A and B are shown apart, each in its own frame.
Chain A
């Protein structure tokens, strides 16, 4: 069973994309993964100026000091847009319910302009 939700993100300069979707109210800086659920990141779109986007994961988003590790990066080499899809998805699993992912603009250094992303993320459960 799964539920596919497209998240739209925006950031000015470097930092975490603020994510929203027609399926959710408001914005979030990260997506927490429910216990026993997998997130599959199927498609990625990056638009705007040249950008490096890091896909980041933490095992405990509730920790007082959250440790994020980069599990993937995508590059938009020059201004425009790029769509990356029909690839094997990035899969992250909720073992404790405290795991989370976020998307950060990490380059180019010194960027101050606005960057946009879209991610098609499937929440998957009961897939044994």
Chain B
């Protein structure tokens, strides 16, 4: 499997569509070289949990980690890990770890399970025609099957919803591939312009959100001092604006 991760000294752009801004990072190092896999285990849903069904009813999880037939998770699932910064959400880390960034590829078995990310948990992101129609695992759009790629930003919590539209009660399994990047915000305005104009190669990751929750903006400001570089195509205007923003960057 080809992993989507950046390597040392590459640039990573995290583009935030709702505000048309991008965070431009240089990968200073990859902390977990050679060990990019976490065999997590079943999706953390407990026996006895009530889940809604695609038929409009409800069903009960019969055994830990089993996704019942024709059911989906109403609430976003996070992944507990003992000893992690946030033991209820292994991927969340604080804003003052702004030199860290996690790039995660979640692989779920069986692969036909639907996956949707809520950023932060509770915020529905898939939408059609502005906000006219909401998507998600219980709809015909707004989900992937089997895999989900995310860049985990400091202070931001991501929850996942899962759907099983077969008639099979399935045992689930989650494997994470991840890169724990050591990063810095690029502080050369000319370089930022060239990266955003795609004159310099970079990994471009578009954050899967239609709406940027105020909590995310707050976390970005706390972590980096600003919420990203706007996409500007006039060079002089862009470089001037980027120089101003670079002054705000938290060291």
Question: Which chain A residues border B62 with CB–CB below 8 Å?
Answer: 25
Q: Does B63 contact A (CB under 8 A)?
A: yes
**Alpha-carbon gap, A126 to B69, bound state (A):** 22
Given known A-B contacts A25-B66, A34-B165, A123 and B170 have beta carbons under 8 A apart:
no
Q: Is the interface of B mostly helix, strand, loop or mixed?
A: loop
With A1-B146, A126-B145 in contact, do A28 and B111 touch (Cβ < 8 Å)?
A: no
Closest to A29 in B: B167
Indicate with 1 or 0, residue by residue over A100-128, a CB within 8 angstroms of chain B CB atoms: 10000000000000000000000101100
Name the interface residues of B76-92: CB closer than 8 Å to any CB of A: none
Chain A CB within 8 A of B166 CB: yes
| Interface: A31 (CB within 8 A) | yes
Q: Total A-B pairs in contact (CB under 8 Å)?
A: 58
Indicate if the CB atoms of B165 and A28 lie closer than 8 Å. Answer: no
**A2 in contact (CB, < 8 A):** yes
A5 to chain B, nearest CB (A): 7
Cβ-based interface call for A37 (8 A): yes
Cβ of A91 to closest chain B Cβ, rounded Å: 15
How many residues on the A side are at the interface (Cβ–Cβ under 8 A)? Answer: 23
Supposing A23-B110, A23-B170, A32-B167 touch, asked if A125 and B66 sit within 8 A by C-beta, the answer is no
Is the CB of A35 closer than 8 A to any CB of chain B?
A: yes
Q: By DSSP majority rule, is chain A's interface helix, strand, loop, or mixed?
A: loop
Given A3-B146, A123-B111: A26 touches B169 (CB 8 Å cut-off)? yes
> Which listed residue (A22, A28, A31, A125) contacts B145, Cβ 8 A?
A125
- A97 in the interface, Cβ–Cβ < 8 Å? yes
Q: Which residues of B contact A24 (CB under 8 A)?
A: 168-171
Whether the pair B111, A30 counts as a contact (CB closer than 8 A) is: no
The answer to whether B165 touches A25 (Cβ under 8 A) is: no
B112 at interface by CB-CB < 8 Å: yes
- Given A23-B171, A34-B165, A35-B165, the answer on whether A5 and B145 have CB atoms closer than 8 Å is no
Chain B's closest residue to A19 (CB) is B168
Residues in B58-115 with C-beta less than 8 Å from chain A: 62-63, 66, 69, 109-112
Q: Any chain A CB within 8 A of the CB of B140? A: yes
B1, chain A: closest CB distance, angstroms: 11
- Please indicate the chain B residues that have their CB under 8 angstroms from the CB of A61 in the complex: 167
A39 → B minimal CB distance (Å): 10
List 3 tightest A-B contacts by C-beta distance, closest first.
Answer: A3-B111, A32-B167, A25-B169
Report 23 cross-chain contacts, Cβ distance below 8 Å, ordered by A residue: A1-B111, A2-B111, A3-B109, A3-B110, A3-B111, A5-B110, A23-B109, A23-B168, A24-B168, A24-B170, A24-B171, A25-B169, A25-B171, A31-B166, A32-B165, A32-B167, A33-B166, A35-B165, A100-B167, A123-B110, A123-B166, A125-B111, A125-B145
Chain B residues proximal to chain A, CB less than 8 Å:
62-63, 66, 69, 109-112, 140, 145-147, 165-171
